[in-house]
Every structure is written in structure tokens, then in C-alpha cells.
């Protein structure tokens, strides 16, 4: 059994119909079968719900579809631990990566603290973090 940190880009890709790649389907099959466990920082929920709302606002999902997706997402009950030093490490990583915000660095920090793989579809995040964190995995679309 493996523990994996998952970011909002992967969550949205999985949750929104029509966006699922083969690689994401395999990752979710492992999660659903109990072979793998997913986690994320607390902002996983905030970012995911925000993106779903943005899709509905832009007319790419109906409000009913978006509410259903949010309900399904919350029901997954993905753990969002806050280990000691998470936010300090996220700040340090944002400094190292020379980015103005710590959002994405929180995912990397959590994965580093738990020494686990970080799954992302965020190419810019992968590009900056892979230099010093080899366990970040860019999932294909």
C-alpha cells in the first residue's frame, strides 16, 4: 500500500467528466481498491471546489453538475493532515522556487514531510519542484 499526495489539478481531472486520462484512471483504481491512499493539504478542498465553481460560472458545467461533483468530492473524505512544520516548509520552498505564493508549495511540503509521491497535472509546479524533489510525478492528460 502506498501513500500519495494529490493536488487539486489531479482531483479536478478525475472528478470532471471527460477529463480522465488512462494514467489518472489507473491511479484512481488503486485508490478505490485500497491499494493506495491519497492525502493533501487542507487547501486541497478549497482549491478543488473553487475550480469546480469556476467551471460552472464559465458555463462548462451546469450548477447541478457542479454541485454533484462537489458532493462526490467531499464524500471521498481524503485526509488533509497538517503536520508540524508544514507551513514553514511551504514558505521555504516558495522562496527556493522563487514564486510569490505558497499554495503549490504546500503540496510539495506535505509530500516531502511524508516522503511520498506527489501526483500533479500542473506542469509549471512539476518543472520547478522536480529539480529537488524527485517524487513529484507529472500525470498525463
- Do the beta carbons of residue 119 and residue 21 sit within 8 Å? no
Domains of the chain: 2-138 (3.40.50.1010)
Mean pLDDT for 74-100 is: 97
pLDDT reported for residue 21: 77
Mean pLDDT for 56-66 is: 97
Q: Using the predicted structure, report yes or no on whether residue 67 has a pLDDT greater than 70.
A: yes
Q: Using the predicted structure, report yes or no on whether residue 5 has a pLDDT greater than 90.
A: yes
- Do the beta carbons of residue 107 and residue 87 sit within 8 Å? no
pLDDT reported for residue 19: 67
Q: Using the predicted structure, report yes or no on whether residue 22 has a pLDDT greater than 90.
A: no
Sign for the pseudo-dihedral over CA of 96, 102, 105, 111: positive
Q: What is the pLDDT of residues 105-129, one digit of tens each?
A: 999 999 999 999 999 999 999 999 9
Q: Which triple of cell numbers denotes residue 77?
A: 473524505
List the beta bridge partners of residue 2. Answer: 36
Q: In terms of C-beta density within 10 A (0-12 exposed, 13-18 middle, 19 or more buried), how is residue 112 classed?
A: buried
pLDDT reported for residue 24: 85
pTM: 0.93
pLDDT reported for residue 25: 87
3-state secondary structure of 114: helix
Amino acid at each position: 500500500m502506498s501513500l500519495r499526495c494529490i493536488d487539486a489539478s489531479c482531483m479536478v481531472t478525475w472528478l470532471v467528466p471527460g477529463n480522465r486520462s488512462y494514467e489518472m484512471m489507473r491511479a484512481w483504481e488503486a485508490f478505490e481498491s485500497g491499494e493506495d491512499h491519497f492525502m493533501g493539504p487542507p487547501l486541497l478542498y478549497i482549491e478543488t471546489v473553487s475550480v469546480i465553481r469556476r467551471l460552472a460560472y464559465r458555463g462548462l458545467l451546469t450548477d447541478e453538475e457542479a454541485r454533484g461533483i462537489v458532493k462526490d468530492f467531499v464524500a471521498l473524505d481524503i485526509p488533509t493532515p497538517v503536520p508540524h512544520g508544514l507551513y514553514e516548509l511551504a514558505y521555504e520552498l516558495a522562496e527556493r522556487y522563487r514564486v510569490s505564493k505558497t499554495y503549490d508549495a504546500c503540496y510539495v511540503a506535505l509530500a516531502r514531510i511524508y516522503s511520498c509521491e506527489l501526483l500533479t497535472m500542473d506542469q509549471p509546479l512539476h518543472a520547478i519542484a522536480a529539480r529537488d524533489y524527485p517524487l513529484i510525478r507529472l500525470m498525463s492528460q
